[in-house]
């Protein structure tokens, strides 16, 4: 495993982080047991992963807590989250603090290392900064969490607009946002500002159904080609990203996707999620491989650099 410093938190974290949400939710999404999920968390830990990311809404906090019972608390970085809205109603600071307390109980721990405000929309940010963050900082002083973070709602905020407000206020230590080969606008909209402020970055959506579901990539590129957003020739290929697959390049598209996200300047941790134990080692190995060849990255930028909001569908529940 390789480790890096998570921005100004100073936390030493694995470059591969286990995400406990998405469609898989450690296997719960496919009907597997909690014991199955515990096994996946422990497998990741055995392979050197030390950042585990969960959330109240995922329903996996108790699984993470069970998996960590046999692990020294200071050997793992635990990240969890609480939403700031129920439908159109914004939650009060007190309600989010209640969510923090509920997460600590579910995880079986006295504190979490990173507490993130979950899927904050641009229109909710002012409320969060004014009402929620001050309430949480009082809980931080009590030792309930070490560092504060925020995550975007990628499908509804493809331009990272909420994060622009967060950068101006500079109230959070960690951000989580979407970035992948066909959704690259964070290269200009997020990474430079995060680096300038030394804010830790957690990358989500590096691999989603766009790359992992057979036929999905071809389908989406056909639609984009019809709109004139990508070359028509791409839509005619059974493997539109075959230029990435060669000796010295990537073995497959999923490996390429992880390598692309991992080696973007300013990327700290690439999150991966799975419900299949057979995929854990492979995902980690892909993240740990060297950068894609410079010519391949340049071609990705030339072909897809202008796209926005591609492949940001919400997980199926």
State the catalytic residues: 58
In the three-class reduction of DSSP (H, G, I as helix; E, B as strand; rest coil), residue 3 is classed as strand
Show the tokens assigned to 234.
């791409």
| Separation CA 178–CA 280 (nearest Å) | 21
Block residue for tokens 């080696």: 263
From residue 216, alpha-carbon distances to 77, 223, 243, 313, 316 in Å are 34, 11, 18, 12, 15
| Separation CA 44–CA 18 (nearest Å) | 7
| Separation CA 269–CA 254 (nearest Å) | 17
Residue whose C-alpha is closest to residue 50's, from 31, 85, 28, 78: 78
Residue whose C-alpha is closest to residue 46's, from 75, 24, 22: 75
First to last CA, the chain: 31
Residue whose C-alpha is closest to residue 107's, from 65, 144, 79: 65
Strands (E), the chain: 3-5, 12-14, 16-19, 51-53, 77-83, 85-86, 89-90, 112-120, 145-152, 174-178, 200-204, 269-272
CB 65 within 8 A of CB 106: yes
Block residue for tokens 């019809």: 226
Show the tokens assigned to 155.
């499908």
In the three-class reduction of DSSP (H, G, I as helix; E, B as strand; rest coil), residue 178 is classed as strand
């Amino acid at each position: 495993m390789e480790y890096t410093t998570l921005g100004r938190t100073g936390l030493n974290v694995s470059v591969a982080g286990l995400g406990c949400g998405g469609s898989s939710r450690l296997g719960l999404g496919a009907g597997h047991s909690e014991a199955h999920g515990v096994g996946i968390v422990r497998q990741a830990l055995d392979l050197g992963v030390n950042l585990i990311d969960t959330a109240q809404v995922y329903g996996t906090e108790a699984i993470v807590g069970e998996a960590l019972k046999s692990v020294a608390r200071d050997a793992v970085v635990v990240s969890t989250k609480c939403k700031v809205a129920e439908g159109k109603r914004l939650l009060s600071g007190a309600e989010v603090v209640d969510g923090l307390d509920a997460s600590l109980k579910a995880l079986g721990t006295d504190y979490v290392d990173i507490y993130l405000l979950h899927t904050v929309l641009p229109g909710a940010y002012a409320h969060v900064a004014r009402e929620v963050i001050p309430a949480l900082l009082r809980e931080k002083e009590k030792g309930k969490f070490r560092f504060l973070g925020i995550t975007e709602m990628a499908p509804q905020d493809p331009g990272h607009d909420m994060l622009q407000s967060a950068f101006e206020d500079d109230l959070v230590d960690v951000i989580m946002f979407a970035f992948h080969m066909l959704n690259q606008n964070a290269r200009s909209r997020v990474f430079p500002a995060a680096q300038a402020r030394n804010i830790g970055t957690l990358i989500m959506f590096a691999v989603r159904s766009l790359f992992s579901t057979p036929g999905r990539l071809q389908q989406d590129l056909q639609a984009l080609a019809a709109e004139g957003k990508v070359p028509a020739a791409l839509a005619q290929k059974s493997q539109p990203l075959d230029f990435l697959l060669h000796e010295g390049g990537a073995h497959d598209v999923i490996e390429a996707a992880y390598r692309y996200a991992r080696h973007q300047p300013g990327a700290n941790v690439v999150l991966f999620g799975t419900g299949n134990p057979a995929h854990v080692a492979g995902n980690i190995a892909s993240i740990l491989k060297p950068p894609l060849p410079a010519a391949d990255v340049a071609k990705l930028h030339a072909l897809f650099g202008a796209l926005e909001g591609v492949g940001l569908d919400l997980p199926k529940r």
